[in-house]
Amino acid sequence: MEPPSVRALGLWNASDGWSGGGVFDGNRKITVNHARPEQQLLRPPGFEVTVAPPQPAKTLLTSLKRTGWRVTREPEGWGRSGEAQKRQLELRFSSPLYPYSAAYRWLGEPDIPEVQDATWADFDRRGELLLAGAGRLFRVHQGEVRELIDLNPDQPRRRERSP
């Protein structure tokens, strides 16, 4: 079985290193966060592209809601915290501000302590919990945490800077 292929639809450069990003609002609708005005004309065929003012928190909330999370507390501005819940999984996050932070907590039984160390967590299409952290991906099946893949050996080699 081949891995899924991914093809870039476009590149919209933000005006600085702090903003940018975007979210799929539907299968063929993209909202780009804070693109430069001269790039607003980039329209991939078959896609509707909307350029929004810099609102990273709104982009994050739209993404969470689209993937089934229930936002229980919205951040009240830049760098503020928010909360979301999906089934027995709770997410506490800071609105996108460097460094962005996310902390997960398992609210169900049995306890799954590995959730606290995850940098990403969500449910797959079968309803099983997936966790990622430290370059590794895990699946929780019937309360047992199993490693699916360790991507650490596939990291690019570090190169020395040339003078």
Mark whether 39 and 91 lie in a shared domain: no
Residue 35's pLDDT is what? Answer: 57
Does 17 map to a domain? yes
Does 2 map to a domain? no
Residue 76's pLDDT is what? Answer: 76
Mark whether 48 and 72 lie in a shared domain: no
DSSP string, 116-132: GG-SEEEE-TTS-EEEE
Q: Which structural domain, as residue segments, surrounds residue 105?
A: 68-154
Give 156's DSSP letter. P
The rounded distance, in Å, linking the Cα atoms of 29 and 138 is: 31
pLDDT digits (tens, 9 = 90+) for 64-121: 888 899 999 988 766 678 899 999 999 998 865 556 688 999 999 889 999 999 999 9
Mark whether 74 and 47 lie in a shared domain: no
Does 63 map to a domain? no
Q: Is the pLDDT of residue 132 over 90?
A: yes
Going by pLDDT thresholds of 50, 70 and 90, the confidence category of residue 123 is: very high
Cβ burial, residue 89 (10 Å; 0-12/13-18/19+)? buried
> What's the token pair of residue 90?
């709770």
The percentage of the chain sitting over the pLDDT mark of 90, rounded to a whole number, equals: 36
- Number of domain units in the chain: 2
Mark whether 97 and 136 lie in a shared domain: yes
Mark whether 136 and 85 lie in a shared domain: yes
N-term to C-term CA, the chain: 44
Computed over every residue of the chain, the mean pLDDT equals: 81
Mark whether 89 and 145 lie in a shared domain: yes
